[in-house]
Amino acid sequence: MPKFVYDFIEGNRELTDLLGGKGANLAEMTRLGLPVPPGFTVTTVACRAYLAAGAPPAGMFDEVNRHLRGIEARLGKRLGDRHDPLLLAVRSGARYSMPGMMETVLDIGLTDTTVHGLAAQSGDDRFAWDSYRRLVQMFGRTVFGVPDELFTAELETVKRTAGVTADSALDADDLRALVEAYQKVFHQHTGRDFPQSPHEQLDLAIRAVFESWNAERAVLYRRQERIPAELGTAVNVMAMVFGNRGPDSGTGVAFTRDPATGARGVYGDYLANAQGEDVVSGVRNTVPLQELERIDPRSFHRLMTIMDTLEHHYRDLCDVEFTIERGTLWMLQTRVGKRTAEAAFVIAAQLVDEGVIDLDEALDRVTGAQLGQLMFPRFDPASAPTPLAVGVPAAPGAAVGRVVFDSEAAVAAAGRGERVILVRRETNPDDLPGMIAAAGILTSRGGKTSHAAVVARGMGRTCVCGAEALTVDTAAGQLTVADGTGAAPTVLHAGDLISIDGATGAVYAGAVPVHPSPVLRYIEGELAPEADPLVSAVHRLLGHADVVRRLAVRANADTAADAHRARAFGAAGIGLCRTEHMFLGDRRELVERLILAETDADREAALAALRPLQRQDFEALLAETDGQPVTIRLLDPPLHEFLPALDELTARVARAEALGEDPGHDGQLLAAVRRMHEANPMLGLRGVRLGLMVPGLFATQVRAIAEATVARLRAGGDPRPQIMVPLVGAVQELEAVRDQAEALLADFDGLPPIPVGTMIEVPRAALTASAIAEVADFFSFGTNDLTQLGWGFSRDDVEGVFFGRYLELGIFPVSPFESIDTAGIGRLVQIAVADARATRPDLEIGVCGEHGGDPDSVRFFHDAGFDYVSCSPYRVPLARLEAGRAAVRLAHRSDTR
């Protein structure tokens, strides 16, 4: 039989799986000799057994009672003792912190009998009855789901009767009456009396905590935070200590450093003569922790010493909850504290300076996602007014613009060059054009998985959603904000300025000044590394990542300007240059001629006219990337994408014909578009297929690359182009293109070797990677298409349509376009890498889909043995950092094995 209960002295901080975070850290503090009230933890194993069977596992309550007797013996008090009752706190504590999601019951042990004992023993009637009414309310709410409002209504009645406004002004008699009223509420709601057996109270409280694991809000939270549903929670049972025993008592929270900025020194808040829940409820204002030095210098210095001990012990920022009962300090919780992205970098660098951790470990403590946040502009905290409302921060950034209420207005305003915020109750696929046109998106409904959130993240728009204080009236063209105080609501109209903060969810009226990101300015070379502590920390950790990482980081860049930026951001070359833009703009007419060509001569003439233009493009690109690899992908999209859309032409021609006019050129175009129409263009004539079907198309591109390379060589440059064939599904396709390319390249004297490789973006290519590796110089995984084909859905068609629902249903924990789906698409990637390397161990393998810039995915690619990732230039620093973290982590892992 497993052991279901651990005394605090038996556990340690390594046992978080078993004891939860809170229990493991309470045990650690106990082992360190810090003043923790005696207690024990019921394990997650017990919880899982309870949830599976619907009943506690055999022997669990025997163990609980045995450990309870240990506490009683240590404290010389007994649960239920009518003269000196032991009181207990029961708190949940899971492996991962789930703030506000889980349950707590304090003051267990009080009954109509023992309340008198507590009164006598403490010499404080008021304290005893106050504790009892707290118990009835917390127990009623937590264990039986009695709505809080029912209790609050009774409290208001009693206060009105007593003629007071503050809870603290109620005397013992008032509170005794309140307990009676609360017990009636309890009876009415549950159909039973408030339990008068302290052991039954404890039993029911433990069960309630177990059950809270599957409460709806906890399930939703876990899904969003990607916490496995099967972990279960532990339950911590601890002797009560009281911060509400008079002016020499109190409660507080403290951090070993500033969790907002990372600045050194203990930060915190203190509330005298109060319990922890009073701090949370915000009924009274806390004071800065420093004032405790004046109020109770002994406890203050004791706390400072403990904080120091904890930080040295945990080698990181810690936060604590503490209580002082009549001058005695008790530690109720500690953990490695949450912090902002800024603080994470600053503290990691500080700890290195302080000799506490080395650079590897510092790197492991920051994330690419944090670095990504720091690269966005931010509202100036100093000049930001009080928010109108706070919603769900759904996609990062700080966006300022004029309010528009529909997609058409957004598109129209954007057309006039105005920045707008699209405000909707919620969005749907019809709003897509407006979402593209807007600087930001604000909704009053929906969470991180709503259409607005999913699409905004996908397209990189700032988004705040589910700001429920807002009432959006599209018809009236106004936005009403109730602040909850009953004051007249604020009303905004279309055209009013508004600011939304995608990092915090705050919504502000007016234009809040936006500060450019100092981190971005540093990365762009505009700020020196020593400019401020944050920039300095980023500089050091990014620099270390560059030293330790095995993955190279390239950028996706189509133009010389993109390539220039990519290099500045630390890219080691271009992993993907899409050539489709070279067929757009002023070249449309030539491309149209190419497509409509009716003879070989027409087609060849159009291609011949396109070639010098492409040569110039390639030359400019190669000039920016001297000495670095530049992977140029031959034309990928279907040719009809370069012609007007079918329904647009259909409407124009139908209109002309209805009016008896000659549709002219439109008629000719329509015929061509109809001929080339594809029901599913993504699955049609594109990529290598196009190259094999349209004579001269790829050849023109290959020649232009060769000519540009020769020109750069003559200019003294060091051009290193690579030719990449898109959409290969069979080795024979690559062979055919490769043979043709090699024959063409052989015509150029003095050309350096130009590698010819392929995208791996079609599942069949991954499945036949062994054969393809024999004729490819490199593989570049196109995980975007691989995801689309592997799942059988096209991002454009489905992301805004059902991804929100799928995220809610837990079908995926995160969009597979954001992070690579390791179980499915990732497995395909692993199969391909293993097969390809078995054929050709030195094959260069990279990725050029958007996953190349996603932190979790970078780690996956590192583990899968890739040589490089390629991502958008702005994501290059993030990918560098994550590549470093991945390398450090693997090194650690192998150390400990």
Residues binding its own copies (CB under 8 A): 429-430, 646-647, 650-655, 657-659, 675, 678-685, 689, 692-693, 727, 729-730, 732-733, 736, 761-764, 767-768, 771, 785, 788-794, 796-798, 801-802, 805-806, 809-812, 821, 823-825, 827-828
> CB 461 → its own copies: shortest distance, Å?
20
Distance between CA atoms of residues 490 and 388, nearest Å? 8
Closest contact distance (angstroms) between CB of 769 and its own copies is 10
Question: Smallest gap, in angstroms, from Cβ of residue 431 to its own copies?
Answer: 11
Q: Smallest distance from the beta carbon of 666 to its own copies, in angstroms?
A: 12
**Which strands sit side by side in the sheet containing 88-94, from one edge to the other?**
5-7, 39-42, 233-239, 88-94, 104-108
Which H helix or E strand runs over 614? helix 600-624
Least distance from its own copies to the Cβ atom of residue 865, Å: 19
Q: Are 98 and 222 in contact (CB under 8 A)?
A: yes
Cα separation of 70 and 67, whole Å? 5
DSSP line for 740-806:
HHHHHHTTSTTPPP--EEEEE-SHHHHHTHHHHHTT-SEEEE-HHHHHHHHHT--HHHHHHHHHHHH
Residue number with CB closer to its own copies (166 or 659): 659
Q: Is the CB of 522 or the CB of 698 nearer to its own copies?
A: 698
For the CB of residue 846, give the shortest distance to its own copies in the complex, in Å.
20
Q: Which is nearer to its own copies, 821 or 850 (CB)?
A: 821
Which bin fits 734, alpha (ψ -120 to 50), beta or left (φ > 0)? alpha
d(C-alpha 187, C-alpha 201), whole Å: 15
Closer of 292 and 769 to its own copies (Cβ): 769
Q: CB neighbours of 220 closer than 8 A, spacing ≥ 6? A: none
Half-sphere CA count of 457, side-chain side, radius 13 A: 25
Note if 318 is an active site residue: no
Cβ 48 to its own copies shortest distance, Å? 19
CB of 202 to its own copies, least distance (A): 36
Whichever of 241 and 653 has its CB closer to its own copies, that residue is 653
Catalytic residue among 47, 67, 451, 577: 451
d(CA 2, CA 44): 11
Chain-centroid distance of CA 453 in Å reads 12
Both tokens of 662, joined, read 């000659």
Nearer to its own copies, 51 or 676 (CB): 676
Q: Which two tokens stand for residue 796?
A: 């454009």
**Long-range pairs for 192-197 at CB < 8 Å and ≥24 separation?**
194/136, 194/139, 194/140, 195/111, 196/111, 196/112, 196/113, 197/80, 197/111
User: Is 451 annotated as catalytic?
Assistant: yes
Q: Which of 47, 848, 862, 871 is catalytic?
A: 848
- Return d(Cα 794, Cα 314) in angstroms, integer: 47
| Two structure tokens written together for 541 | 């950790």
Q: How far is the CB of 829 from its own copies (least distance, A)?
A: 10
Smaller CB separation from its own copies, 200 or 796:
796
Three-state SS at 507: strand
**Rounded distance between C-alpha atoms, residue 877 and residue 866, angstroms:** 18
- Residue 394: in which H helix or E strand, if any? strand 392-395
CA 381, 385, 387: angle at the middle one, nearest 5? 100
Query: Among residues 358 and 648, whose Cβ is nearest to its own copies?
Result: 648
Contact, 452 vs 441, CB < 8 A? yes
440/447 with CB nearer its own copies: 447
Of the pair 153, 645, the CB lying nearest its own copies is at 645
Give least dist CB 408 to its own copies, A: 14
For residue 26, give the nearest of 338, 336, 332 by alpha carbon: 332
Q: What does the CA dihedral 58, 60, 61, 62 come to, rounded to 10 degrees?
A: 90
- Residues serving a catalytic function are 451, 848
